[in-house]
Amino acid sequence: MLETLKNILYEMLLEKHVSLAMVFKKEGEIVWTKGRRIVGKNIPDGDGFCKTYIRECIDTGKIVTKENGIISTKGMKMSESADRLMVKSIIVYPIENDFFLYIDSGIKDIFSETDKELFKLIGKIFNSTILYILDKERMTGGISGVSKTMENIREKVLLYSITDETILLSGETGTGKNHIAKFIHYSSGRTGKFMTLNTPGIPETLLESELFGYKKGAFTGAYKDKRGLIEEAEGGTLFIDEIGEVSLNIQAKLLRLFDEKKYTRVGDIDERIANVRIISATNADLSEMIKKKLFREDLYFRISGFSISIPPLRERKQDIKPLVMENIIYLKGKKPGLEFWKVFEDYSWPGNIRELISLLKRIGIEYNGRKIGADVKNFFSSGIYEAMREKDIRVRNDIWGKFNKGETFWEVIKIPFLERELNRREVKSIINEGLVMAGGKYTELIEIFNLKDKEYKKFMNFLGVHKLQNR
């Protein structure tokens, strides 16, 4: 439906001599524009449109046009901004859900009745689209909750589904970043695929060709042309997971992609145009990485203009019950009692939503009885923790076995951790065990982890960014 709206607006711009079409929220956030270039992402701070008439429409809640005397054209003085922009006709139209449609023309002295009917249709389509997205969101897990924080996130997700701007999602592992990215894509109306670049799972040497593709003969083994993820996501969305793990060299090329929507296949000389919306995600503190010269500041500003920070579940305990109820099917008909809720709310949920859903599935299969009481805590102690201890032993033996064979920290710890095969507790346990062997000295620890002296700074930066140091 949103794609239909965009196509109608495009045809309208061509046929109705519209210079600028813009949709904005009552609070001022601009969510969609087509036509003349504007500056800024909100009405108060932006430029390139006529604010006087926008304020009038917001204040009165009425359609603002020449006919009702609020806007004057022939023989009457226009506002200063309209005069500067050489705008001859303007209409500001309120639609439901506190959204507004702004349209102006530098060619037409007056919009015809046919034009106005089309504009009203656009408003109705846009309102239907917003309602569609809201209804779809209510049926979608991972964005649930009654906390004020989650209300704000849902509001942003709605707005960002409409715009084509780049988005940055930040938050701990398991908070639902991938889920939110997919929701934004499928609600956006974009007809292309949703493609994921899992940066931690791809060696740096292959990341460029995986992203941009390559031309036949570009390197040994390049027997034919290969499409990259950007091409695969043509007309759709590219989700860059853990963008903080991308090298500075690739960051520079990503910046060009963001700024110019252009890229070049590896081994090719022809530029290609990218029709793709990019959503990035990170569980690292990119501002700290910028201070340590590990992440480009200009790229950060480019990807973070529209951003959503997703808090861990332990910081929004009031959202636990809605999440459980949304996934109640996994309990297979068993009913949570009062003691169940207390146990769940007392737990810290280090694995966030992903851990909660996994636990519900296990309780649904293994719990005896129809009503779940306080004994559910056994799944956190003697049940889960005992299994965790057994898993810890297996993981520990496997990791140290790999170190003994000469594999490096990057292979044994970094990649599995970033791919979520190892959790933070497991990694810190190995690091602490290694520190005991190294007499508490990180300079000695890198030798135990099969790293070279020159990799010490990189190693310490990784620990710092991901909060893995022994404190």
Q: What is the pLDDT along the chain (471 residues), one digit of tens a residue?
A: 455 566 666 677 677 788 888 888 887 878 777 788 887 777 887 888 888 778 877 777 666 664 433 333 344 455 677 777 888 888 888 877 678 888 888 888 888 888 888 888 877 777 776 666 656 554 444 477 788 888 888 878 877 887 778 999 998 888 889 889 988 887 777 888 999 988 876 777 788 888 888 888 777 777 788 888 999 999 999 999 989 888 888 899 899 898 888 888 888 888 899 999 999 999 888 988 898 888 999 999 989 878 999 988 888 888 998 889 888 889 988 999 999 998 898 888 888 888 898 889 889 988 888 899 888 888 875 445 445 555 667 787 788 888 888 889 999 999 988 888 888 878 888 888 888 777 778 888 888 899 998 899 899 988 888 878 765
Task: Give the domain-ending residue among 247, 274, 309.
Answer: 309
Report yes or no on 471 lying in a domain: no
pLDDT, residue 278, reads: 93
Structural domain contains residue 141: no
**Residues linked to residue 90 through DSSP beta bridges, in sequence order:** 104
Residues 364 and 391 in one domain: no
**Is 340 found in the same domain as 368?**
yes
Asked if residue 166 and residue 70 are part of one domain, the reply reads no
Are both 398 and 266 inside the same structural domain?
no
CATH number for position 110: 3.30.450.40
CATH number at residue 376: 1.10.8
The whole domain housing 362 covers 314-380
Residue 234 maps to which CATH number?
A: 3.40.50.300
User: Does 426 reside within a domain?
Assistant: yes
Find out whether 202 and 247 touch, Cβ atoms under 8 Å. Answer: no
Structural domain includes residue 470: no
For residues 93 and 58, membership in a common domain is answered with yes
Whether 47 and 84 share a structural domain: yes
Pair 214, 232 in one domain: yes
- Judge whether 142 lies within some domain: no
Boundary (domain end) residue, out of 83, 101, 136: 136
Which of these three, 347, 364, 380, is where a domain ends?
380
Task: Let me know whether 425 and 322 are in one domain.
Answer: no
Are 109 and 176 within one domain?
A: no
**pTM, full prediction:** 0.63
Q: Which H, E and C letters describe the chain, residue by residue?
A: CHHHHHHHHHHHHHHCCCCEEEEEECCCEEEEEEECCCECCECCCCECCCHHHHHHHHHHCCCECCCCCCCCCCCCCCCHHHHHCCCCEEEEEEECCCEEEEEEECCCCCCCHHHHHHHHHHHHHHHHHHHHHHHHHHCCCCCCCCCHHHHHHHHHHHHHHHCCCCEEEECCCCCCHHHHHHHHHHHHCCCCCEEEEEHHHCCHHHHHHHHHEECCCCCCCCCCCEECHHHHCCCCEEEEECHHHCCHHHHHHHHHHHHHCEEECECCCCEEECCCEEEEEECCCHHHHHHCCCCCHHHHHHHCCEEEECCCHHHCHHHHHHHHHHCHHHHCCCEECHHHHHHHHHCCCCCHHHHHHHHHHHHHHHCCCCEECHHHHHHCCCCHHHHHHHHHHHHHHHHHHHHHCCCCHHHHHHHHHHCCCCCHHHHHHHHHHHHHHCCCCHHHHHHHCCCCHHHHHHHHHHHHHCCCCCC
For residue 143, tell me if it sits in a domain: no
In a domain, 403, yes or no: yes
| Same structural domain, 375 and 335 | yes
26 located within any domain = yes
pLDDT score, position 340: 92
> Are 268 and 173 in the same domain?
yes
Per-residue confidence (pLDDT) for residue 382, from 0 to 100: 45
Q: Do residues 320 and 294 both lie within one domain?
A: no
* Count of domains for the chain: 4
End-to-end Cα distance, the chain: 53
Find tokens 């005397």 and name the residue.
Answer: 69
Query: In this predicted structure, what is the pLDDT of residue 66?
Result: 43
